[in-house]
Amino acid sequence: MFYKSAAFYDAIYSFKDYKVEAEKVRSFIEQYKRTPGNSLLEVACGTGKHIEFLREHYTIEGLDLDAGLLDIARERNRAITFHQADMADFDLGKQFDALTCLFSAIGYVQTVERLNQTIQNFAQHLRSGGVAIVEAWLLPEQFNAGHLGAVFVDQPDLKLARVNTSSLDGNISILHFHYLVGTPEGVTHFTEDHTLGLFTDAEYRAAFAAAGLELTIDIEGISGRNLYIGVKPA
């Protein structure tokens, strides 16, 4: 994951409007949640940029597997509890009124078996009437193997180019990232490979059904990718 690039994550994704996205997330939660409470678990919380805005409205906790991203999230949200764990098998020993898994992080579970396990785990961490909101990774028909992408950062003390190619291995999409990073201390280069499962709409639907969640799909979602919204029956 972002083990090498965590320190540059916020600069790379500075084009994202987290405040607007957080308001969209809030509107989906309030539309579908059937509980009176306001506790929220953000799974794959990254550097905690959504939490920065959602914490005004919810009693919130964050969870991520990447220690480097969590260090930044904790610094940004000092009063918030964060957990380092795998989304497929974490056990916090409590339930929440809402749970989110955004920015296509669900793809990192890679296999259908782990997708089913993850959605089941989300359901177990919801109160009756609670809602799970999962932003999908690309569907198989949407993935373009061989796609060339690039992001550039131009700040006074940081010049960065992230260039990637993509490839396909069965139902696994592989993003090959190359980073060229310039700071006042010098210029470095490193690489990261990110592997995400390409799940069909039917596989997402089946995972939510197997977990006993009542499913609604919003195809526009937060950023133009399918949003799977599952409510735990009261």
pLDDT in tens for each of the 234 residues of the chain?
899 999 999 999 999 999 999 999 999 999 999 999 999 999 999 999 999 999 999 999 999 999 999 999 999 999 999 999 999 999 999 999 999 999 999 999 999 999 999 999 999 999 999 999 999 999 999 999 999 999 999 999 999 999 999 999 999 999 999 999 999 999 999 999 999 999 999 999 999 999 999 999 999 999 999 999 999 998
State the CATH class of domain 6-139+198-231: alpha beta
Q: What is the CATH number of domain 141-195?
A: 2.20.130.10
Q: What pLDDT does 149 receive?
A: 97
**Domain map of the chain by residue range?**
6-139+198-231, 141-195
Q: What pLDDT does 1 receive?
A: 84
Cα dihedral across residues 23, 28, 31, 32: positive or negative: negative
Residue 75 amino acid letter: E
Q: What pLDDT does 234 receive?
A: 87
| Size of the chain, expressed as the number of residues it contains | 234
